[in-house]
């Protein structure tokens, strides 16, 4: 163990759970309380192993597809990332009792897609192939209606059927700056392209990235607490590096910290993705406190007070 030399630890605020993640986890917990175990959950409710394991211990059973669930009267929950229309259709065909924990801000993108289709527009979705949110959004409409664009190069190469009647949507957890570059290309090439009625990248993603931009130039290195399959957490690492921080590491737990990087630092920034609970941030702080004499400072760039309503079937359990 190194000597306890001083360490400035800059805590980003906002960080950690957003309203959509908090709502999704509460839906699973309240469903277990109201109906008892087992409760089936299609896909990880949010992208965080600690959260998933915690819910498993309480009686949640996680599956990737509905065909892994036996014929049952037990509740089935769809994850916060959203699902293609085929999923609730299959659940209805099997007479399943299901609850949808899709983040309302993802549902907003789904509704936008359906409005654009109503007006006959060809839709560009900016996002990452294979991410559950992208799969869910593209699955709101018939195949071929939505075209996925991942990069600036994709945007330069995209050829619509009618450049005068197209629109774009975005995944809610993207890099704000990278997305702006892609939108700039689409807008230059297709001046008539219809933007989202309101920004699709969600408030929490934007706020966490802005907080990292404020802290990263002040830190020798940054830690992002989050999961490897969490898009918003991965983007925070990228934002930290682009904002001038020499080192940034994504860790799921304190045990993942690469001390060869962080023991040499005098100032470290710390944040957490939107699906990472604060208890894991505390774990990281305690790990540094065992090795160094800490000087904690919170740098706040926004206040968040967003709350989303629970499904009607669970409101009594919440009360």
The pLDDT value given to residue 1: 47
Q: Distance between CA atoms of 162 and 142, rounded to whole angstroms? A: 18
The pLDDT value given to residue 318: 66
Domain count within the chain: 3
The pLDDT value given to residue 106: 97
Specify the DSSP element, H or E, that contains 79.
none
Q: What is the pLDDT of residues 29-65, one digit of tens each?
A: 999 999 999 999 999 999 999 999 999 999 999 999 9
| Residue 304 exposed, middle or buried by CB count within 10 Å (0-12, 13-18, 19+) | middle
For residues 90 and 109, state if they share a domain: no
- Domain assignment present for residue 236? The answer is yes
- Domain assignment present for residue 282? The answer is yes
Specify the DSSP element, H or E, that contains 215.
helix 203-215
CATH number for 66: 3.40.50.11270
For residues 87 and 46, state if they share a domain: yes
For residues 250 and 272, state if they share a domain: yes
- Domain assignment present for residue 306? The answer is no
Q: Distance between CA atoms of 60 and 40, rounded to whole angstroms? A: 6
Domain that includes residue 135, residue range: 105-189
For residues 164 and 90, state if they share a domain: no
Residues contacting 91, CB < 8 A, separation 6+: 66, 76, 98
- Domain assignment present for residue 33? The answer is yes
Regions of the chain with pLDDT less than 70: 1-3, 317-319
**Residues involved in catalysis:** 133
Check: CB of residue 12 under 8 Å from CB of residue 274. no
- 294 token code pair: 């800490």
- Domain assignment present for residue 316? The answer is no
The pLDDT value given to residue 265: 95
Check: CB of residue 205 under 8 Å from CB of residue 172. yes
- Domain assignment present for residue 1? The answer is no
For residues 217 and 295, state if they share a domain: yes
Q: Distance between CA atoms of 106 and 146, rounded to whole angstroms? A: 16
């Amino acid at each position: 163990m190194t000597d306890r030399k001083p360490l400035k630890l800059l805590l980003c605020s906002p960080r950690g759970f957003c309203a959509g993640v908090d709502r999704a986890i509460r839906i699973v917990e309240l469903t277990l309380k109201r109906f008892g175990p087992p409760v089936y959950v299609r896909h990880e409710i949010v992208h965080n192993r600690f959260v998933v394991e915690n819910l498993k211990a309480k009686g949640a059973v996680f599956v990737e597809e509905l065909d892994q669930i036996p014929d049952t009267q037990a509740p089935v929950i769809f994850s916060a990332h959203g699902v293609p229309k085929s999923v609730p259709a299959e659940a209805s065909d099997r007479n399943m009792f299901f609850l949808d924990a899709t983040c309302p801000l993802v549902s907003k993108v789904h509704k936008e897609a359906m409005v654009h289709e109503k007006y006959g527009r060809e839709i560009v979705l900016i996002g990452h192939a294979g991410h559950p949110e992208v799969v869910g959004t593209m699955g709101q409409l018939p195949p071929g209606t939505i075209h996925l664009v991942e990069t600036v190069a994709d945007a330069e190469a995209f050829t619509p059927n009618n450049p005068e009647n197209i629109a774009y949507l975005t995944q809610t957890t993207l890099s704000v700056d990278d997305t702006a570059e892609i939108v700039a290309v689409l807008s230059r090439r297709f001046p008539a392209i219809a933007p989202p009625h309101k920004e699709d990248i969600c408030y929490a993603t934007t706020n966490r990235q802005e907080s990292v931009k404020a802290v990263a130039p002040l830190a020798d290195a940054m830690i992002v607490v989050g999961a490897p399959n969490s898009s918003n957490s991965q983007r925070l690492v990228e934002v930290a590096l682009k904002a001038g921080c020499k080192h940034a590491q994504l860790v799921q737990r304190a045990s993942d910290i690469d001390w060869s990087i962080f023991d040499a630092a005098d100032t470290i920034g710390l944040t957490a993705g939107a699906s990472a609970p604060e208890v894991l941030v505390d774990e990281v702080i305690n790990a540094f406190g065992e090795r160094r004499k800490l000087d904690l400072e919170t740098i706040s760039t926004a206040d968040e007070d967003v709350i989303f309503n629970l499904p009607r079937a669970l409101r009594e359990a919440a009360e």
